[in-house]
Amino acid sequence: MAEPVFPDELVGDGPATWDVTGELPPDLLRKLGSMGLLCAEVPARFGGLGVSSVDNGELTAHVGRLCSSLRSIMTSHGIAATAVRRFGDREQRRHYLGELTGGKLAAVGFSEPGAGSDLAAMTTRIEAQGEEVVVTGEKRWVTASRYADYLLVLGRHGDDAAAVMVPADAPGVTIEPVPQPMGCRAAGHARLVFDGVRLPVSTVLGGGRQSLSLLFTTALSYGRMSVAWGCAGIVRACLDAAATQAATREQSGKPLGEHQLVAGHLADLYVAEQTVTQVCRHASEQWDAGSPDQAVAAVLAKHVAATQAAQAAAKAMQVLASWGANDGHVVARAYRDTKLMEIIEGSNEISRLVLARHALDRVA
């Protein structure tokens, strides 16, 4: 399968404006969705592009370089598609993957007021009642939910767990946008309330009764790699912006890049770009090979990419100085967006705990 080509002309110079207004054009999202670009790994028989994780990763980095809000929506949509592929039955795969490659948009709700880092504390309930299920609970900071047609909701299902595809316009669903997020401002984050939402049992992926940890580990592994690749794109944008500025602006009679302290920032940015690319590529290769090390490789990629991207954005801001210090500027956006990358899909602390556990298990 050829590498997917992203239509840059549809994005143009929109990201700076979208960051300031906090809105992405919904028609653009639907168009990209209908081109299969928001979940490019979905196989062709379900309407997708059927690309490898490595190729989807490079596509994600490309989008991350342009606009982290758009990349965030791509990540959520891709998580939903992955969950449908892994947990849906044949008819659900046919129906929902057709929708998700046909222009409908999806968001994914894990986090709750009492369940942030500790997803095992989730209390949302998906209760069977005859031919229906009833969804009751609250989710926080759900990316893309302001634009979504489907809200993939994880919750308790009897003694186990389930993931249910909730139509965003179902009676009993409330979507309250997060006011003025500090970063990824146009990614459509919202608080979701499910007040006894009644749905057919056919909306529960695979009939439910799955283990909660299997559900969120599968979804988060995809999400972690997607965020990591998005960070690779941010680092590339920061490297380009800083190198261009350092080559073209002179102070004290020579280009900024010839002042050694500025050159040091450029070297660090280059190291970050190379390191993040390698660690992302490694995780995607593990995913494509179906390796048992894939989950750890995804945590490693996300952790390295998020921390490197946050440092890279700070260095690029330092090189650009006042020339990058406007809302909407690619480096200003990177500075705010990358802080959030250190929090989502497993914070730095949670990632380090997982990696420490892996280190201990190797010698047990």
Provide the binding-site residues for ligand FAD, judged by CB under 6 A: 76, 108-111, 116-117, 139, 141-143, 184, 189, 340, 343-344, 347, 349-350, 353
Least distance from ligand FAD to the Cβ atom of residue 187, Å: 7
Least distance from ligand FAD to the Cβ atom of residue 234, Å: 14
Burial of 16 by CB count in 10 Å (0-12 exposed, 13-18 middle, 19+ buried)?
middle
**362/89 Cα distance (integer angstroms):** 36
Q: Within a 13 Å sphere around the CA of 70, how many CA atoms are in the beta-carbon half?
A: 34
* Nearest CB to ligand FAD, comparing residues 141 and 287: 141
Degrees, nearest 5: CA angle 219-220-226: 100
352 close to 303: Cβ distance less than 8 angstroms: yes
* Nearest CB to ligand FAD, comparing residues 36 and 223: 223
34 close to 100: Cβ distance less than 8 angstroms: no
Least distance from ligand FAD to the Cβ atom of residue 142, Å: 5
Least distance from ligand FAD to the Cβ atom of residue 353, Å: 6
Least distance from ligand FAD to the Cβ atom of residue 175, Å: 13
Q: Which residues of 129-158 are buried (b: 16+ CB within 10 A; e: fewer)?
A: eeeebbbbbbbbbbbbbbbbbbbbbbbbbe
CB-nearest residue to ligand FAD: 116
* Nearest CB to ligand FAD, comparing residues 133 and 341: 341
Partners of 166 in beta bridges: 151
* Nearest CB to ligand FAD, comparing residues 144 and 320: 144
Nearest CA-CA partner of 3 in 42, 50, 35 = 50
**303/299 Cα distance (integer angstroms):** 6
* Nearest CB to ligand FAD, comparing residues 276 and 354: 354
Q: What sections of 123-250 are H helices per DSSP?
A: 212-248
Least distance from ligand FAD to the Cβ atom of residue 188, Å: 9
* Nearest CB to ligand FAD, comparing residues 141 and 335: 141
